[in-house]
Chain A
Amino acid sequence: MKQTACKDCGVIIDIKSFDNSKEYACPRCHSVFYRAGESFDLVLVMVITAFLFFIPATFLPIMTLNIMDQSHSVTLFEAVWFFANDGYLIIALIAAGSGVVIPLTLLALIMMMILPKKMGYDSSYIKKFYRMYEHLSTWAMAEVYLISIFVAIIKLGGMAELNLDFGLVSFAFFILAFYISLIWFNPNDLWIEN
């Protein structure tokens, strides 16, 4: 017997037998308050996959632009760097932060929460990491960033000749793996297992 309350309308809910592979919704407002996640092993695999895809995405150019015999290729970090030099430091920081830095931080936090749990020792930092994770997850906009790359490509396609490079492909897969690990990882399972 487990008692909880709905986060959205405050109703007290009694759960007779809790099964963490099921989805639970509030009887009054129908908001889902427990969503089943995948096992931590699967999440860990997906997090590592995301990191592996991120390595080529950092140093390979995402695209090459040709205008009148001048060619110009950009990597992910150059894209941000140019923008920062342009005097719009705040927008550069927001774009880089929500598109790349925060997703990476979230992945690292997931690893740092799961690994001590797997190895069996109780890390006092788990609570801290968990709170950071919950705060940051609002600001991760990696999927928006990916779509915006495609919109930018189509927009630029009208202006100049454009070649897509492998960096973009690996970045797209990084974001896909990031998104899947976020869906699979349910931080509430951290508490339920003990």
Chain B
Amino acid sequence: MKYKTDKSEGKYLCHMCEYLHDEALHECKRCGAKLHQRVPNSIALTWGYVLAATLFLIPANILPMMVVTSMGSDDASTIMQGVIYFFAHGDYGLGAVIFIASVAVPVFKLAVVYYLLLIVHFKQHDKALRGIKLFHIIHLIGKWSMLDIFVVALMVSMVQFQGLASIQTGGAAIAFCSAVIFTIIATEKFDPRLMFDEELIKKEEDK
């Protein structure tokens, strides 16, 4: 056996301050956080949140993100229409930013979380190292999907001219917001050590 882990040695690592305990205490000695060897119900909770996020992404892409009322006429646009608007007007940089933040990143994040869950489920331990790299990436880029929500929030509050022009949010805003938040919770609940843990059991069985 090449590596000793906290599980094989019967030690308990605090999730917050990373203090290593020799026995299973209720709370961490150093920072007082609840002490678990692995995140409790990690896989079930991650599945739940990631499925909820996937479902919310559907209305988020179908319903309009915002409705611009100008001179009495309504103009509703979905996320993709917003991106196309920028490309059609030659604003390629901004179009790319919005596309990456509100289409590519959420889909990529969900795909990665499914991939990680499948690694754990099918015990694909040789893919665990790649999995941990992807896990770090989605931790870094996760919050950028909120960009479009903030843009709509700002535009709604700034454009309030009685009778002349106003902007309302569409149903997609709340759906997209929920999708992003559920994805963030899903990555928080996922315990990457589960990808490595089974390696130990499998190797011991082989012996």
Residues of A with Cβ closer than 8 Å to B?
3-5, 7-12, 28-29, 31, 33, 63, 65, 67-68, 70, 72, 74, 78-83, 86, 88, 90-92, 94-95, 98-99, 127-128, 130-131, 134, 138-139, 141, 144-145, 147-149, 151-152, 154-156, 158-160, 187-188, 191
Interface stretch (choices B41-49, B106-114, B190-198): B190-198
A31 neighbours in B (Cβ, 8 Å): 132, 136
A187 vs chain B, min Cβ distance (A): 8
Interface size bracket, B side = 35 or more
CB–CB B5/A29 < 8 A: no
CB–CB B135/A82 < 8 A: no
A155 neighbours in B (Cβ, 8 Å): 151, 155
CB–CB A154/B94 < 8 A: yes
CB–CB A12/B159 < 8 A: no
Cα-based distance from A26 to B33 in the complex (angstroms):
23
Cα-based distance from A92 to B68 in the complex (angstroms):
18
CB–CB B150/A191 < 8 A: no
A151: contacting residue among B4, B32, B98, CB under 8 A: B98
Chain B residue nearest to A146 in the complex (CB): B150
CB–CB A148/B150 < 8 A: yes
B89 neighbours in A (Cβ, 8 Å): 158
CB–CB A156/B192 < 8 A: no
B6: contacting residue among A12, A139, A141, A148, CB under 8 A: A12
Does B201 reach chain A (CB closer than 8 Å)? no
Closest 9 CB pairs of A and B: A148-B150, A82-B157, A10-B5, A79-B157, A152-B154, A10-B193, A95-B153, A127-B32, A5-B6
Cα-based distance from A140 to B181 in the complex (angstroms):
12
CB–CB A86/B168 < 8 A: yes
Cα-based distance from A155 to B30 in the complex (angstroms):
49
CB–CB B153/A65 < 8 A: no
Indicate whether A151 sits within 8 Å of B94 (C-beta atoms), given known contacts A83-B157, A191-B19. Answer: yes
Cα-based distance from A158 to B85 in the complex (angstroms):
12
B118 vs chain A, min Cβ distance (A): 18
B18: contacting residue among A70, A90, A91, A188, CB under 8 A: A188
A154 neighbours in B (Cβ, 8 Å): 91, 94
A159 neighbours in B (Cβ, 8 Å): 68, 70, 159, 165
